[in-house]
């Protein structure tokens, strides 16, 4: 079995199926897979910084607003779904032997828990509007509309989930715009985090280089293997 076929077997044909729907040969399929992997890796940092910035900003504002660090224990403050997420987080921490502290709970709660503060329930309670004003102090006024915030973070969550599971995203026509939206919303929360996100960012360079470098890598792997076989 040739080396590219062995790589295909290791990754599984099902995993690679999405990269060869146009009938591309195995070399091109693997190159697309590697490029997608690199794109996902380059998005991990800005996505992580966006999530951390959001949850810490919300936590800080709710702590100040309610005058206690464990504001989340007020079951009437959260939606039923958020209360369920809180319970699951505590159960997971207990199972893993972690101390049930405020800091650990805040870190354990999912991104969906935090973005849930901008949904319809919290619009009606007024909490969503309050958080939008304080969590995103550097956002233009027109962008503090809760429908816009909710939609933006739904898009970020969807991209995050695909990136963290290394699913195919290189075919997304608006991927560059989505990256810019992530960087922008970080700046709405913290200009300092925005600066760090831009300095650490590798997405633009990997994206602009295109598929070529990965085709070359796969070609070299294949040719080196053939030469090694001939010399052995």
Task: Write out 144-177 in H/E/C secondary structure.
Answer: HCHHHHHHHHHHHHHHHHHHHCCCCCCCCCCHHH
Helix (H/G/I), strand (E/B), else coil: 109: coil
pLDDT digits (tens, 9 = 90+) for 102-126: 999 999 999 999 999 998 889 888 9
Using only the alpha carbons of the chain, give its radius of gyration: 22
Contact between 132 and 72 (Cβ < 8 Å)? no
> Is 183 in contact with 159 (CB distance < 8 Å)?
no
Low-confidence spans in the chain with pLDDT less than 50: 230, 232
Q: Compute the distance between CA of residue 86 and CA of residue 76 in angstroms, rounded to an integer.
A: 13
The kind and range of the H/E element at 99 are: none
Q: Which pLDDT does position 226 carry in this prediction?
A: 56
pLDDT, tens digit (0-9, with 9 covering 90-100), for 161-175: 999 988 999 999 999
Report the C-alpha gap between 178 and 161 in whole angstroms: 14
Q: What is the pLDDT of residue 230?
A: 46
| All structural domains of the chain with their residue ranges | 3-231
């Amino acid at each position: 079995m040739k080396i590219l076929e062995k790589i295909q077997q290791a990754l599984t044909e099902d995993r690679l199926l999405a990269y060869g729907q146009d009938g591309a040969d195995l070399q091109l399929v693997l190159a697309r897979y590697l490029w997608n992997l690199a794109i996902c890796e380059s998005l991990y940092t800005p996505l992580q910084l966006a999530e951390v910035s959001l949850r810490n900003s919300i936590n800080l504002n709710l702590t100040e607003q309610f005058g206690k660090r464990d504001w989340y224990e007020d079951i009437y403050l959260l939606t039923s779904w958020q209360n369920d997420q809180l319970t699951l987080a505590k159960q997971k921490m207990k199972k893993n032997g972690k101390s049930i502290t405020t800091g650990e709970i805040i870190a354990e709660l999912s991104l969906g828990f935090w973005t849930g503060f901008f949904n319809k329930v919290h619009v009606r309670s007024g909490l969503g509007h309050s958080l939008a004003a304080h969590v995103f102090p550097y956002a233009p006024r027109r962008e503090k509309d809760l429908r816009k915030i909710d939609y933006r973070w739904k898009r970020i969550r969807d991209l995050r989930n695909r990136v963290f599971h290394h699913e195919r995203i290189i075919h997304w026509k608006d991927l560059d715009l989505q990256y810019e939206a992530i960087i922008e919303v970080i700046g709405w929360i913290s200009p300092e985090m925005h600066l760090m996100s831009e300095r650490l960012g590798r997405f633009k360079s990997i994206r602009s280089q295109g598929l070529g470098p990965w085709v070359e890598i796969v070609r070299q792997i294949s040719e080196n293997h053939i030469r090694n076989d001939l010399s052995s």
